[in-house]
Every structure is written in C-alpha cells, then in structure tokens.
Amino acid sequence: MLAERLKMIKPSGVRRIFDRASRMKDPLDLSLGEPDFDIPDEIKREGIRWIEKGFNKYTLTQGIPELRQKVEEYLTDKGIRFDTVMITAGVTGGLLLSCMCLIDPGDEVLIPDPYFVMYEYQVLLMGGVPHYIDTYPDFRLHEDTIRKALTPRTKLIIINSPANPTGTVYSKEELEMVARIAGERGLIVISDDIYERFVYDVPTAPCIGQMYEKTITLNGFSKAWGMTGWRLGYAAGPEEIIQQMITLQQYSFTCPPSFAQKAALVAFDYDMGEYIRRYREKRDFVYDALHERYRVTRPQGAFFIFPEADDGDGKKLVERAISKGVFIIPGGVFSQRRSHFRISFAAPMDVLERGVAILNEL
C-alpha cells in the first residue's frame, strides 16, 4: 500500500527521545535542538501587528519583496555569491526543495559524518545515495577522505557549519579545499548556515557560499531568534536552481507564513548578541564540566556538544542517562558510528548543572 521509497525512512531518533521526555515529570531535557529563549518581544509584537492588520493570506510563492531584498542585502554584505533568493518554509523546506530539484535516483551525495539526521533521509527520499565522509576523531574535513568518497555518480556535497551535532566550525582553509574539489568536478554544494550566529571563538564563521558560486546557501530565523515554530528560512544561489525551487514551492508549501515574513524584517535588525554571549557561557560550562571524564571536542559554534561514551556505546549510555531523568540523543542518530552522544546546551543553566552532574556520575 505504501510507496516503496518509505521503506528506507525511519522515525526521527531525536523526536523519539523528545516524545519520551514529554511524558516524564520534570525531565532534564538536553535533547532537542531548539533555543531555550522565547522570540524577543519586539519581534513578536511585529508579527501580532500584521496578524491584526489582516496580513494572513497567501503571499508570493517566493516571499514578500521587502524580505527578499533584506536577505539580498545581508548576503551581499557577507560576501555570499548568489544570483537570486527565495523565502522558504524553514531551512528544512529549503533543503527539501533543493533535493527535489537536484537529485535523481542513483545520484550520490557526500555528507560529512556526523551529520544532521535530515540530510540522510531527504537524500534517500529522492532515491539518492548518501556517501558519508568520516570526520572522526576531530570532526574536521580532510582532502584525502573527500577524494576517496568521490565517484562518477557524485553530484552534491552538503556542508553544515557551525555543525549539528558536533558544534564544529569549519575553517576557511577547509572550505576552500571543498570548493576546489567541487569546482574540479562541477559539483553543487548545499550549505546549511542556520547556526551561523552561534559562533564563540571567532567573530564570524566563514561560509562556502563566499568561495564557490555553485552553492545553494540555506539559512533562516529558527535558531538565532527562537522562531522555530514560525517556519521561516531562505535560499540563495544560482538563478536556474532557485527558480525551479520556487516552482516546486508552488506545488508543495505554496508560500512561507505571511505574518512571520513581516516580523523577520524586524528580526534582521534586532541585536541578539547578549543571547549569543549567554550561550558561549553555557558552552564553556558544559565543556569544562565534561572534558575530564569524557573524550570530547570543544564545540566552536551551534549549541551542541558530542562526547564519546567511555565504553564506546553511546546508545547504552543514553539509556542509563534517561533512567536518571536526563534526556540526550545517541550518536547513532547522527552518524554511521554509535560511539558518541549529543547534548544540547540550549537549556536553562540549572538544568545543565543538574544534567551534567548526573552524566559525570555515570
């Protein structure tokens, strides 16, 4: 009865843990990749204002002109290469449209491992073949590993920096290397930049879209401004690809949420620096508390840390943690290996303190 493609699609391991946490009284939930702060009041009021004004109907499929212009100005200031932009239903919506446009059955897609779980399954949904680039133990990109993964069927590379689940920020040199390889083979790069504002050790993170013109840059408002439920993102890149994504959006999402687009105009100019500073403090606390007991790489961005279980079995450690009321995600959800586990430090400090204490006891 069901479509053949669904045989390869499994329920999200992240959501499964989240569902378990939601059924428990007073869990220490360090599982979900969602900011623990609310949308700033000024941005919320702007959304409410446009709802009350009646801006509640369909918009242009590609998004309202003023927001597209704002995105263009922002990306231009960052030095991102693109021909045109569109507004999407979150970065997830942009990723789905990109994959629909670019992946034919049998096309191979290179994905650095560990990876955000969505990449693997959206490639599989299109009939593509994910090829994983092993980045262990330091979660860096290495040229020889990438070249070994290339085949005549390779079409795409997906880059996520700052990265989920590791918090890795790729260096300019790493991204230039990827751009060089992609250019040699005529590959397309999809760059998921959703965590770009969560950077702790350098002023800004380099983006491969600054270096390689055949890049589809995906970004949005869910993380930096806490707008996860408003489902708003954008895509920028080559004219031919973005125009086809707009056409596909007509037949899928129809258009992005109306009021959220108006609120995003205010969000672009709202300084979230103090929020990011607090997350840097949380990063420092969690790393300092864990690194003597666990093998762990200090995250440079995003709001995740990816320690290794002491016996190499991340799933078993996660079950032990959950039995103590601490909800974290087994690393096998994000990787071909099962040795690690993911902690989200997008949580109140008292929850982090209690959760980390229990993990150290384990």
Q: Which of 326, 352, 354 is nearest to 341 (CA)?
A: 326
What is the secondary structure of 135-202 as a DSSP string? -TTTT---HHHHHHH--TTEEEEEEESS-TTT-----HHHHHHHHHHHHHHT-EEEEE-TTTT-BSSS
**How far from the centroid of its chain's Cα atoms is residue 325's Cα?**
26
295 SS3 class: strand
* Alpha carbon distance 340, 135 (integer Å): 13
Q: Where are the beta strands (DSSP E) in the chain?
A: 28-29, 84-88, 108-113, 129-134, 154-160, 188-192, 215-220, 233-237, 304-305, 326-327, 329-330, 341-344
**What topology does CATH give the domain 4-39+272-361?**
Aspartate Aminotransferase, domain 1 (3.90.1150)
**For domain 57-268, is the CATH number 3.30.160.20?**
no
Residue 149 in tokens = 């993964």
* Alpha carbon distance 258, 82 (integer Å): 24
Structure confidence at residue 49 (pLDDT): 98
* Alpha carbon distance 200, 191 (integer Å): 20
Partners of 293 in beta bridges: none
> For the chain, which residues make up each domain, given as ranges?
4-39+272-361, 57-268
Percentages (nearest 5) of helix, strand, coil residues in the chain:
45, 15, 40
Give the CA-trace dihedral at 100, 169, 298, 110, to 10 degrees.
40
Q: At 292, which amino acid appears? A: E
Structure confidence at residue 185 (pLDDT): 97
Q: Which of 65, 91, 67, 102 is nearest to 244 (CA)?
A: 102
Tell me if 141 sits within 8 A of 170, measured CB to CB.
yes
CB neighbour burial string for 186-214, b if at least 16 within 10 angstroms, e if fewer: ebbbbbbbbbbbbbbeeeebbbbbbbbeb
pTM of the model: 0.95
Helices marked H in 238-272: 239-250, 258-268
Residue 59 in tokens = 């918009």
Structure confidence at residue 12 (pLDDT): 66
Tell me if 341 sits within 8 A of 309, measured CB to CB.
yes
Tell me if 319 sits within 8 A of 97, measured CB to CB.
no
325 SS3 class: coil
Sheet holding 341-344, edge to edge: 304-305, 341-344, 329-330
Residues of the chain with pLDDT under 50: none
Partners of 156 in beta bridges: 109, 188
Largest CA distance in the chain: 58
Tell me if 71 sits within 8 A of 65, measured CB to CB.
no
Tell me if 171 sits within 8 A of 201, measured CB to CB.
no
* Alpha carbon distance 175, 206 (integer Å): 8
* Alpha carbon distance 25, 155 (integer Å): 47
* Alpha carbon distance 38, 307 (integer Å): 28
Structure confidence at residue 15 (pLDDT): 63
